[in-house]
Amino acid sequence: MPTHARDRLVQAAEHLFYAEGIRAVGVERLLTVSGVGRASFYRHFSSKDDLVVAMLRGYDQRWRRVLAEGVTERGNQPLAVFDVMAERFESADFRGCASINAMVELADPDSPGHQVAAEHKRLVIEYLDGLLAAAGHDHHATLAEQFMLLMDGAMVTALRERTAEPAHRAKAVAAALLATSATAAHAG
């Protein structure tokens, strides 16, 4: 467990917010689980909302790193994003996408937490765009948006079904998109 109060608070928030929801977890519970005192909490964060932002930024960095590393291990093929997701879906602690969950709970698009969660999605789309462009796909920006839609849908469906199958089904749809895109590019 981290020794610094800020790190312990963020780690507790990551676990509790992901497992139980942002609104369901109060500051008192965060203090108890993290072992950090109230004064120390407010020394590091002016509010629970600031802690939510820090937690979501950490989630963003970790997930994009895991995604990129997993895709690299699989030869940098764009469809590999769905294989990485399937692995995550099989985890016993899978509770969906922390960013999607946050956007649902923090529905106001002007709230800092909602904005950080939306930025995460934008950054993943940017990664997908680069991956698809590097693989030589025309219309890579459009395909990246379509991949993100499939990924988000697979995450929500995996949460409902409690299986990795949604990632495999999304991968099949993405493969069809790539094939259609390639056919259109050759015909044009």
Same domain, residue pair 106 and 64: yes
Same domain, residue pair 167 and 129: yes
Same domain, residue pair 109 and 155: yes
Same domain, residue pair 62 and 137: yes
- pLDDT score recorded for residue 156: 96
Nearest to 125 by CA among 110, 105, 140: 140
pLDDT digits (tens, 9 = 90+) for 53-97: 999 999 999 999 999 999 999 999 999 999 999 999 999 999 999
| Residue range of the domain that includes 35 | 1-45
Tell me what the mean pLDDT of segment 16-45 comes to.
94
pTM exceeds 0.85: yes
CATH code for the domain of 117: 1.10.357.10
Tell me what the mean pLDDT of segment 158-170 comes to.
97
Same domain, residue pair 57 and 41: no
Same domain, residue pair 71 and 144: yes
- Number of folded domains in the chain? 2
Distances (CA, A) of 165 to 44, 97, 131: 41, 16, 23
Please report, as a single letter, which amino acid is at residue 157: T
CATH code for the domain of 6: 1.10.10.60
Same domain, residue pair 30 and 103: no
Residues near 48 by Cβ (< 8 Å), separated by ≥ 6? 26, 27, 30
Same domain, residue pair 106 and 169: yes
Tell me what the mean pLDDT of segment 24-31 comes to.
95
DSSP letters, the chain, are: --SSHHHHHHHHHHHHHHHH-TTT--HHHHHHHHT--HHHHHHH-SSHHHHHHHHHHHHHHHHHHHHHHHHHHTTS-TTHHHHHHHHHHTSTT--S-HHHHHHHHS--TTSHHHHHHHHHHHHHHHHHHHHHHHTT-TTHHHHHHHHHHHHHHHHHHHHHHTSSHHHHHHHHHHHHHHHHHHHHHHH-
The share of the chain scoring above pLDDT 70, in percent, equals 95
Same domain, residue pair 29 and 88: no
Same domain, residue pair 120 and 37: no
